[in-house]
């Protein structure tokens, strides 16, 4: 292996054994050490076959991102004039030159590539010995001390100078298996003083019981969510699920009977399996039950698909990549995608993070609203151990998604102290939120100085109630808390707004953030009390305007309709 920035040299041998001309190799990716918990345990057998995915450089990703902002920004002549699958492909398809350069390199090494899910990807199978030679590296077997997970990875690899400009990265190589974490608190006891003060007022129509037991009726009253069924079949809601998360149709029927008796008990959801994922109705999970019951149960009559993603292709990181590429490959993408899983940003390769984020930009340009939970660990990332600086979650830092935090209580709503929020160390502050973030930082002053990246993409963008949701799990009503709860609810509200838009002959909302930080912010309930402690601090305080606990605030369906000029 060579150090970053240095050149190495490799010989390619012709069929007759004569050496070909030297071709300089350049380090393409490197990390200083394996992620916390991983230790190299030795060299794998030279004949062990690695399944690698080669990502080619996209031809004009910068142009696609410019177009994403054009179609997503109110006032633009292209606002909500989304791109088709083929139009997006014209921006991101690798050039013929790039495909030829990478394919020729693989051919010289006797490696046959097969097409991946999208045009950016090639799949290859390479024995360890050959991979070591062609990438000038040494793959090792790494084992995780706590989980026992074993993986063949390297800390750096190199490619020829003729290939480097055409290659995005090779997966997984330096990307270690990281299990997705559910944005869900096992136990959460709300601070009672936030709910019992006589100075607090409860929004009209919200029952006092909602402070301790959140139901669809509570959410409908709290956020003015309609109960009338959606009518537009082209409006679709995708719910993504990882780490063996499953949902039961029987539990959904039970849930609707108890909490949405106005909805037919036969109402159900579609299932799509990926990477060996299975929706095991005999072993339903808290996460899957929560996500389905509060999408089907809130986005009344919106067609909903539960994507259950297994671990056949490199664990949950690979599953995230496979899911978004599968959706990109569809002729018709979902209009809303909600995900309540994430990772510590520090454990993710920046190349991987950027590639995945750019994939979300492709979906956004086609009109998909993508929502992720911020996490349930305050200003920490949930990885465990002590932290000396705030640790952001991922993909919260991606600027092309909408990140949802959590609130608690109704008299009034305050920030839930579990609500993850902060600033990415990978992605810079996007223009759409620069004024809001700058204003908050001015108010914050010297609080938490030096503990976070002031120039990073800030999250969450919005929030919703996240405490004590009533969920039916294996026939029993169980309280569940976390941004896992707030995210599908916010997504359901967007899905219902999309139904109204389509019914009026308009396009769906698409990438939400430029709208939310401009004309849409007045349609949100500003949350100004509470904080998200962690890392031995009180975390960030909620303040007037945007803050890294509750974002811009919680939704009001009627006000959002007005902001969209639909009321």
- On whether both 414 and 282 belong to a single domain, the answer is yes
Query: Token digits for 510?
Result: 């698409």
Residue 418 lies in a domain: yes
pTM of the predicted model as reported, rounded to 2 decimal places? 0.93
- On whether both 297 and 164 belong to a single domain, the answer is no
Helix (H, G, I), strand (E, B) or coil at 85: helix
270, pLDDT greater than 80: yes
**β partners of residue 342:** 181
* Residues 410-435 pLDDT 10s: 988 999 999 999 999 999 999 999 99
Residue 308 Ramachandran class (φ > 0 left, ψ -120 to 50 alpha, else beta): beta
Residue 79 lies in a domain: no
* Residues 347-358 pLDDT 10s: 888 999 999 999
Question: Annotated catalytic, 380?
Answer: no
What single-letter DSSP state applies at residue 541?
B
5, pLDDT greater than 50: no
Confidence of residue 66 (pLDDT cuts 50, 70, 90): very high
Residue in 291, 380, 381, 461 annotated catalytic: 291
Question: Which of the residue ranges 67-81, 313-327, 330-344, 542-556 would you say has the lowest mean pLDDT?
Answer: 313-327
- On whether both 466 and 552 belong to a single domain, the answer is yes
Strands 270-274 and 304-309: parallel
Mean pLDDT of the chain: 91
Longest CA pairwise span in the chain (Å): 89
* Residues 497-536 pLDDT 10s: 999 999 999 999 999 999 999 999 999 999 999 999 999 9
18, pLDDT greater than 90: no
Tell the residue number behind the tokens 């978004």, with chain if given. Answer: 324
Percentage of residues in the chain with pLDDT exceeding 90?
A: 83
- On whether both 326 and 446 belong to a single domain, the answer is yes
* Residues 281-291 pLDDT 10s: 988 999 999 99
Given 126, 156, 171, the domain boundary residue is 171
The pLDDT, as a whole number, for residue 313 is 62
Residue 63 lies in a domain: no
- On whether both 123 and 263 belong to a single domain, the answer is no
Residue 440 lies in a domain: yes
Residue 406 lies in a domain: yes
- On whether both 245 and 362 belong to a single domain, the answer is yes
34/37 Cα distance (integer angstroms) = 8
Residue 195 lies in a domain: no
- On whether both 140 and 211 belong to a single domain, the answer is no
Count of residues making up the chain: 567
- How many independent structural domains does the chain possess? 2
Question: Annotated catalytic, 484?
Answer: yes
Long-range contacts of 438-445 (CB under 8 A, 24+ apart): 439/545, 439/546, 440/543, 440/545, 440/546, 440/547, 440/548, 443/543, 443/544, 444/540, 444/541, 444/543
147/321 Cα distance (integer angstroms) = 22
Which residue segment(s) compose the domain that 358 sits in? 206-563
DSSP E strand boundaries for 300-340: 304-309, 336-339
Residue in 287, 383, 413, 543 annotated catalytic: 287
Residue in 285, 484, 486, 492 annotated catalytic: 484
* Residues 291-329 pLDDT 10s: 999 999 999 999 999 999 987 765 578 899 999 999 999
Residue 308 lies in a domain: yes
Given 171, 195, 222, the domain boundary residue is 171
Residue 191 lies in a domain: no
- On whether both 239 and 361 belong to a single domain, the answer is yes
115, pLDDT greater than 70: yes
The mean pLDDT of 458-464, rounded to a whole number, is 98
Given 128, 150, 171, the domain boundary residue is 171
554/413 Cα distance (integer angstroms) = 9
What CATH code is carried by the domain that includes residue 464? 3.40.50.200
Query: Do 58 and 93 contact (CB within 8 A), yes or no?
Result: yes
The pLDDT, as a whole number, for residue 191 is 44
- Among 376, 543, 526, smallest CA distance to 462 is for 526
* Residues 141-184 pLDDT 10s: 999 988 888 999 999 999 999 999 999 999 999 999 887 877 66
């Amino acid at each position: 292996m060579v150090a970053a920035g240095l050149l190495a040299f490799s010989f390619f041998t012709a069929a007759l054994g004569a050496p070909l001309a030297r071709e300089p190799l350049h380090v393409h990716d490197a990390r200083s050490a394996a992620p916390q918990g991983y230790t190299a345990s030795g060299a794998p057998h030279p004949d062990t076959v690695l399944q690698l995915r080669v990502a080619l450089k996209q031809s004009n990703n910068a142009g696609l991102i410019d177009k994403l902002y054009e179609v997503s920004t109110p006032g633009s002549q292209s606002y909500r004039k989304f791109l088709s699958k083929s139009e997006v492909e014209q921006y991101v398809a690798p050039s013929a030159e790039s495909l030829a350069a990478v394919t020729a390199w693989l051919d010289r090494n006797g490696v046959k590539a097969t097409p991946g899910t999208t045009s950016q990807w090639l799949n290859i199978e390479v024995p360890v010995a050959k991979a070591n030679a062609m990438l000038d590296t040494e793959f090792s077997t790494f084992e995780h001390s706590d989980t026992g997970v074993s993986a063949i990875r390297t800390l750096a690899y190199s490619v020829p100078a003729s290939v480097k400009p055409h290659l995005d990265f090779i997966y997984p190589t330096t990307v270690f298996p990281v299990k997705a974490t559910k944005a869900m608190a096992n136990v959460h006891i709300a601070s009672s003083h936030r709910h019992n003060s006589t100075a607090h007022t409860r929004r009209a129509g919200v029952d006092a019981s909602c402070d301790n037991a959140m139901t669809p009726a509570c959410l409908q009253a709290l956020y003015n969510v309609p109960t009338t069924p959606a009518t537009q079949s082209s409006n679709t809601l995708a719910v993504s699920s990882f780490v063996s998360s499953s949902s039961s149709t029987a539990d959904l029927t039970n849930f609707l009977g108890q909490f949405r008796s106005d909805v037919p008990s036969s109402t159900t959801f579609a299932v799509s399996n990926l990477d060996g994922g299975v929706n095991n109705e005999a072993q339903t999970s808290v996460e899957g039950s929560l996500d389905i019951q509060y999408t089907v149960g809130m986005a009344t009559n919106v067609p909903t698909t539960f994507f259950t993603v297994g671990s056949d292709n490199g664990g949950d990181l690979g599953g995230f990549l496979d899911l978004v590429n599968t959706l990109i490959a569809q002729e018709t993408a979902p209009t809303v995608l909600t995900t309540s899983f994430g990772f510590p940003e520090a454990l993710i390769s920046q190349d991987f993070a950027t590639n995945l984020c750019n994939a979300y930009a492709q979906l956004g340009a086609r009109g998909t609203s993508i929502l992720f939970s911020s996490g349930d660990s305050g200003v920490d990332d949930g990885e465990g151990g002590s932290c000396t600086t705030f640790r952001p979650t991922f993909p919260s830092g991606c600027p092309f998604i909408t990140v949802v935090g959590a609130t608690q209580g109704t008299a009034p709503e305050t920030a839930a102290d579990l609500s993850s929020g902060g600033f990415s160390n990978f992605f810079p502050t996007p223009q759409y939120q620069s004024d809001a973030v700058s204003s908050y930082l001015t108010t914050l002053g010297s609080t938490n100085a030096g503990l976070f990246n002031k120039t990073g993409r800030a999250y969450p963008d919005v929030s919703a109630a996240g405490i004590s949701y009533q969920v039916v799990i294996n026939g029993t009503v169980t309280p569940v808390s976390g941004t896992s709860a707030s995210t599908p609810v916010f997504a359901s509200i967007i899905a219902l707004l999309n139904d109204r838009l389509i019914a009026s002959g308009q396009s769906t909302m698409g990438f939400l953030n430029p709208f939310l930080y401009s004309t849409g912010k007045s349609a949100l309930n500003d949350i100004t009390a509470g904080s998200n402690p962690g890392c031995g601090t009180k975390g960030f305080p909620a303040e007037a305007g945007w803050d890294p606990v509750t974002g811009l605030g919680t939704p009001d369906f009627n006000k959002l309709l007005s902001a969209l000029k639909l009321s």
